[in-house]
Amino acid sequence: MIEKITVVGAGNVGATAAQRIAEKALARTVVLVDVIEGVPQGKALDQWESAPIEGFDTHVVGANDYIPAAGSEIVVVTAGIARKPGMSRDDLVRTNADIVKQVSQQIKQHCPKAIVLVVSNPLDVMCWVTKQVTGFPRERVIGMAGVLDTARYRAFLAEALDVSVEDIQAMVLGGHGDTMVPLISYTTVSGIPVTQLLDKPALDKIVERTRNGGAEIVTFLKTGSAYYAPSAAVTEMAEAIVRDKKRILPCAAWVQGEYGISGVYLGVPCKLGRGGLERILEVKLSGDEQAALNKSAAAVQETMAAVSLKP
């Protein structure tokens, strides 16, 4: 347990993440910050009142400014507008970049030693905005993407195979969007290569569904986007850091030559511990997988070019 974790954004993702973090007792205090007056205070109070039932002592508090967040060791950033039907992730970029820029300035001022876990979309570009504005090293600005994408991939595989999700070992790399790269060559079911259990057409269908996992949920909801799985994903990352678990999780990290790619946030296998990003693991990719990863990186860089970080 650490002293304080702040969650920025009291919408569905942020509020659910705050609840999950509190229930796992990852910090003595969870601060929920949002610009809408009364919303973070009301949701935080509601969560705190669930503590006697759920059995956690983490105190959840709400605020409209960052003063209560001062000194937070982890900050989860969920702020931004949600994707609407027919809206691509790239459509979000300019609006959310301005929001995340303002949030990052506050984090730099009030939480200068924090590890920042970014959830806001478009994820990879928002990580870059956060890193540039805060000036934090790459070890302390990490994006939640691959954990969520991998969870979706594993869920769809388990459904197709009629097996437990716990027995699916998999990893999804690349940008968080249409160009993500599920690694079929590293996908197993209790050690059995998935290619021995599903044919190529079936796997291709699952890969495509994984890439469109967020959009599929948006289509159903019509007025919102996913939040149960995203909040679970970022909480898993926070737990790995708080408990120094040395988990190997696919996260968006600033690559500096890994996989032959530099100057972009990209989903890669990351070792997470108390120091944040402790190592990027480079695994051998097939020619097709490397080409797909290069394409994904190029797509992220193209979206980055649309963002201005000038004051």
Domain's final residue, options 143, 159, 178: 143
Question: What span, in angstroms and rounded, lies between the C-alpha atoms of 141 and 119?
Answer: 11
> Do 171 and 124 have their domain in common?
no
Domain hosting 32: range is 2-143
pLDDT of residue 164: 98
Q: How many domains does the chain have?
A: 2
pLDDT of residue 275: 95
> Do 246 and 172 have their domain in common?
yes
> What is the pTM assigned to this prediction?
0.94
Question: What span, in angstroms and rounded, lies between the C-alpha atoms of 234 and 21?
Answer: 9
311 in a structural domain: no
pLDDT of residue 87: 63
309 in a structural domain: no
CATH number at residue 160: 3.90.110.10
> Do 105 and 240 have their domain in common?
no
To which residue do tokens 């699916």 refer?
168
189 in a structural domain: yes
Alpha helices by DSSP H, listed for 26-92, are 39-54
Q: Which residues are catalytic?
A: 176
> Do 115 and 174 have their domain in common?
no
> Do 127 and 164 have their domain in common?
no
> Do 251 and 175 have their domain in common?
yes
User: How far, in Å, are 154, 182, 186 from residue 199 at the CA level?
Assistant: 16, 16, 15
30 in a structural domain: yes
> Do 278 and 159 have their domain in common?
yes
Q: Are strands 2-8 and 74-77 parallel, antiparallel or unpaired?
A: parallel
188 exposure class (CB count in 10 Å sphere: 0-12, 13-18, 19+):
middle
pLDDT of residue 232: 97
> Do 124 and 169 have their domain in common?
no
pLDDT of residue 121: 87
Domain's final residue, options 125, 143, 161: 143
Domain's final residue, options 115, 143, 171: 143
Question: What span, in angstroms and rounded, lies between the C-alpha atoms of 6 and 123?
Answer: 19
16 in a structural domain: yes
> Do 224 and 279 have their domain in common?
yes
> Do 15 and 150 have their domain in common?
no
Is 158 within 8 Å of 189 (Cβ atoms)?
A: no
pLDDT of residue 30: 98
310 in a structural domain: no
pLDDT of residue 122: 87
> Do 130 and 196 have their domain in common?
no
CATH number at residue 33: 3.40.50.720
pLDDT of residue 94: 83
Is 116 within 8 Å of 254 (Cβ atoms)?
A: no
Q: For every one of its 311 residues, what pLDDT tens digit does the chain have, with 9 covering 90 and above? A: 899 999 999 999 999 999 999 999 999 999 999 999 999 999 999 999 999 999 999 999 999 999 999 999 999 999 988 766 666 656 678 889 999 999 999 999 999 999 999 999 889 999 999 999 999 999 999 999 899 999 999 999 999 999 999 999 999 999 887 888 999 999 999 999 999 999 999 999 999 999 999 889 988 988 888 999 999 999 999 999 999 999 999 999 999 999 999 999 999 999 999 999 999 999 999 999 999 999 999 999 988 887 877 76
174: left (phi over 0), alpha (psi -120 to 50) or beta: left
> Do 136 and 29 have their domain in common?
yes
Sign of CA dihedral 266, 238, 81, 83: positive
Beta-bridge mates of residue 75: 6, 116
